[in-house]
């Protein structure tokens, strides 16, 4: 296994590129920032490492990036993706001052896909499959919303269907028992890179601890290898991080999503 510093360098070089905004409806550039707009009124801000950035320059970037989205009434929420290993003095303060709120930090996990592509016994009656049809995608999206404590959102399913239609290298996988979806996960093949991303891993609480999460991960890792991606990465919660660590993935840094939501004002009514 390659060491964490080497893997982090690959992460910065191969993933903090236009790959992060694949499938966006539009992408604008503002200095080092990529300002993406996705289906469903979602804005997303990402960027490569900011060498020698000063606090006043970062403050301006935050304010000007938000001005971009304020001018787009269809954008209802924006995520600024911050990384723990970046040198970005004053970033937290600038984001909070501009109305962003930090969500829970997640661990950036990286490792060999082959370490995850193992046989995992499933509980009796549980099967895995890849889904592509609209009905299945909407059912998967609704289940994931439920698992993560969110209100069911048509917007997420619309965005996933849009991405599938673009053919950007996304795969959706589910686990089922007695005709009910009990787990799900997404694979993102990163173009022109060694990486595939593992995203959206969700298992119903009553089915956890029985190998379903690991089996969904293994299925996606095999799909990554079949598409010539040797490395996988994931932004992991404290639920999934230990599972991936036991499979040989390494925590190389952290990422924190800062979230901004549009509030209705008299000018916007």
pLDDT at residue 23, as a whole number: 84
Residues 55 and 165 in one domain: no
Distance, in Å, from the CA atom of 200 to the CA atom of 187, rounded to the nearest integer, reads 9
Number of domains in the chain: 2
Per-residue model confidence as pLDDT tens digits over 2-57: 799 999 999 999 999 998 998 889 999 999 999 999 988 999 999 999 877 788 99
Report the CATH number at residue 219: 3.40.630.30
Residues 61 and 182 in one domain: no
Q: Is residue 264 very low, low, confident or very high in pLDDT (cuts 50, 70, 90)? A: low
In 10 A of CB 119, how many CB atoms? 7
Q: Is residue 153 very low, low, confident or very high in pLDDT (cuts 50, 70, 90)? A: confident
Residues paired with residue 100 on neighbouring β-strands, in sequence order: none
Query: Domain of 225?
Result: 111-254
Residues 100 and 125 in one domain: no
Residues 147 and 245 in one domain: yes
Residues 115 and 248 in one domain: yes
Report the CATH number at residue 85: 3.40.630
Residues 150 and 92 in one domain: no
Per-residue model confidence as pLDDT tens digits over 109-143: 999 999 999 999 999 999 999 999 999 999 999 99
Q: pLDDT above 90 covers what percent of the chain?
A: 78
pLDDT at 208 over 50: yes
Distance, in Å, from the CA atom of 242 to the CA atom of 119, rounded to the nearest integer, reads 19
Distance, in Å, from the CA atom of 202 to the CA atom of 209, rounded to the nearest integer, reads 12
Residues paired with residue 44 on neighbouring β-strands, in sequence order: 36, 79
- Residue 229 inside a domain? The answer is yes
Residue 152, both tokens? 């069911």
Residues 180 and 240 in one domain: yes
- Residue 22 inside a domain? The answer is yes
Per-residue model confidence as pLDDT tens digits over 212-225: 999 999 999 999 99
Q: What pTM did the predictor assign?
A: 0.89
Residues 120 and 189 in one domain: yes
């Amino acid at each position: 296994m390659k060491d964490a510093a080497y893997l982090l360098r690959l992460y910065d070089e191969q993933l903090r590129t236009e790959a992060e905004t694949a499938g966006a409806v539009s992408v604008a550039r503002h200095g080092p920032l990529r300002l993406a707009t996705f289906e469903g009124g979602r804005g997303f801000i990402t960027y490569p490492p900011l060498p020698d950035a000063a606090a006043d320059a970062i403050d301006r970037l935050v304010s000007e990036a938000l001005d971009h989205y304020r001018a787009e009434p269809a954008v209802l929420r924006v995520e600024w993706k911050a990384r723990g290993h970046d040198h970005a003095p004053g970033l937290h303060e600038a984001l909070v001052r501009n109305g962003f709120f930090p969500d829970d930090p997640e661990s950036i996990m990286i490792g060999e896909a082959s370490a995850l592509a193992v046989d995992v016994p499933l509980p009796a009656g549980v099967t895995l499959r890849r889904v592509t049809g609209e009905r299945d995608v909407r059912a998967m999206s609704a289940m994931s919303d439920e698992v993560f404590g969110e209100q069911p959102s048509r917007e997420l399913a619309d965005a996933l269907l849009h991405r599938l239609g673009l053919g950007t290298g996304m795969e959706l996988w589910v686990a089922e028992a007695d005709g009910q979806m009990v787990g799900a996960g997404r694979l993102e093949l990163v173009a022109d890179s060694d990486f595939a991303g593992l995203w959206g891993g969700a298992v119903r609480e009553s089915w956890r601890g029985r190998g379903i999460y690991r089996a969904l991960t293994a299925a996606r890792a095999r799909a990554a290898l079949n598409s010539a991606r040797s490395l996988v990465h994931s932004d992991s919660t404290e639920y999934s991080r230990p599972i991936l660590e036991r499979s040989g993935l390494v925590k190389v840094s952290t990422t924190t999503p800062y979230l901004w939501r549009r509030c209705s004002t008299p000018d916007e009514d």
